[in-house]
């Protein structure tokens, strides 16, 4: 009995390995549109796909980012300025993409643009802080997707959205986790709706990676700015020691080892080029072996663990 079970498990992984090695044909004729290419994952993916021979349409927030990317890539990479929070900018970029892809349609849409700040305990924030985060990470992604779906459907292509392990687990407040939960929900519904058209939808769920979106200095400055503008009563309840402990704790969430950005962009590349892409990609050792498994544990245990690790407000000590 055990021998049959082991054989079945082995056969499953063998078939899975074989299927995932199959690559779509004529990659050199396919167009991929990537948002957030100024730096980080988007910038690296644009260069990576360029080396694979794909035609990359890279959206950058700034002209400086676009110029630097063009210097690092071949003439297969073309850039456009895009602010995903502005409808006019999205409309113009969608028209630009349509003019480039023509009758071929858009093979791949890689929704990568995102921000990580502001992040702080919910009670410290205002509604606008949540709105600013959702406008980029969720609503902007949705509007870009809706604008380009006809072109993706025409090519029977792919939509790949960057979520996070924080789309499954919310260890801290602010709009980031909320936005990533929204990305997960939107991607799930989109995958089922587009399946009859032959369009595949995948999600990338990275763990902690050091990028230009946020670093220790930026995080401290952001949290301190939020704290300084917080209601005096809130500041009294939490206390200065909580502020310092909260800032320090955020740096302990990252894994004790380096994680190469290629761990994420390799997942993105596979989702865009494999004949049988996965629905979800867990990128990073911390996501694979800690955060995502943690999200499947009973809520009471997860709550107890996070509360035990979290700093305590002054008035509950």
Question: Which residues have a Cβ under 8 Å from the Cβ of 88 and sit 6 or more positions away?
Answer: none
Residue with the larger pLDDT of the pair 252 and 188: 188
**Tens digit of each residue's pLDDT (9 = 90 or more) over 45-72:** 999 999 998 999 999 999 999 999 999 9
151-179 pLDDT, tens digit per residue, is 999 999 999 999 999 999 988 889 999 99
Residue 233 lies inside a defined structural domain of this protein = no
User: How far is 237 from 128, CA to CA, in rounded Å?
Assistant: 22
Within a domain: 12: no
Contact between 125 and 173 (Cβ < 8 Å): yes
Binned at pLDDT 50, 70 and 90, residue 310 comes out as confident
Provide the number of structural domains found in the chain.
1
Residue 34 has pLDDT above 80, yes or no: yes
CATH of the domain at 194: 3.40.50.720
Query: Which range of residues forms the domain containing residue 72?
Result: 26-213+257-297
Considering the domain boundaries, does residue 159 fall inside one?
A: yes
Question: Residue 116: is its pLDDT beyond 60?
Answer: yes
Amino acid 81: pLDDT: 96
* Digit-coded pLDDT (tens) for 224-234: 888 888 888 88
The answer to whether residue 99 sits within a structural domain is yes
**Using an 8 Å Cβ cutoff, are 55 and 76 in contact?**
yes
Q: Please, which residues bridge with residue 196 across strands?
A: none
23 secondary structure, DSSP code: B
Question: Strand 280-283's sheet: what is its strand order?
Answer: 77-81, 55-60, 31-34, 108-111, 158-162, 200-206, 280-283
Residue 112: inside a domain, yes or no? yes
Closest CA to 193 of 165, 239, 152: 152
Confidence class of residue 254 from pLDDT cuts 50, 70 and 90? low
Q: Measured between alpha carbons, how far is residue 213 from residues 70, 115, 121 in Å?
A: 21, 6, 19
pLDDT at 317 over 60: no
Q: Is residue 185 included in any domain, yes or no?
A: yes
Residues with a known catalytic role:
176
Residue 20 lies in a domain: no
Q: Is residue 221 part of a domain?
A: no
């Amino acid at each position: 009995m055990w021998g049959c079970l082991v054989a079945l498990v082995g056969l499953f992984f063998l078939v899975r390995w074989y299927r995932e090695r199959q690559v779509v044909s004529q990659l050199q004729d396919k167009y991929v549109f990537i948002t957030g290419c100024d730096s980080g994952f988007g910038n690296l993916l644009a260069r990576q796909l360029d080396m694979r021979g794909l035609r990359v349409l890279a959206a950058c927030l700034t002209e400086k980012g676009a110029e630097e990317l063009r210097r690092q890539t071949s003439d297969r990479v073309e850039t456009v300025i895009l602010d995903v929070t502005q409808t006019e900018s999205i409309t113009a970029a969608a028209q630009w993409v349509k003019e480039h892809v023509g009758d071929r349609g858009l093979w791949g849409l890689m929704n990568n643009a995102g921000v990580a700040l502001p992040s702080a305990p919910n009670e410290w924030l205002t509604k606008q802080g949540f709105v600013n985060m959702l406008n980029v990470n969720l609503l902007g992604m949705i509007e870009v997707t809706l604008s380009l779906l006809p072109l993706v459907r025409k090519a029977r292509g792919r939509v790949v959205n960057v979520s996070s392990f924080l789309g499954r687990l919310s260890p801290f407040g602010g709009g980031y986790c909320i936005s990533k939960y929204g990305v997960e929900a939107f991607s799930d519904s989109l995958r089922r709706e587009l399946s009859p058209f032959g369009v595949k939808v995948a999600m990338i769920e990275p763990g902690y990676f050091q990028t230009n979106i946020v670093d220790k200095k930026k995080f401290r400055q952001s949290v301190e700015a939020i704290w300084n503008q917080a209601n005096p009563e809130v500041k009294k309840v939490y206390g200065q020691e909580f502020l310092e402990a909260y800032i320090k704790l955020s740096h302990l969430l990252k894994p004790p080892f380096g994680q190469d950005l290629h761990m994420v962009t390799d997942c993105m590349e596979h989702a865009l080029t494999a004949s049988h892409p996965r629905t979800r990609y867990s990128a990073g050792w911390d996501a694979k072996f800690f955060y995502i498994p943690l999200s499947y544990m009973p809520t009471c245990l997860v709550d107890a663990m996070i509360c035990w690790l979290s700093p305590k407000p002054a008035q509950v000590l």
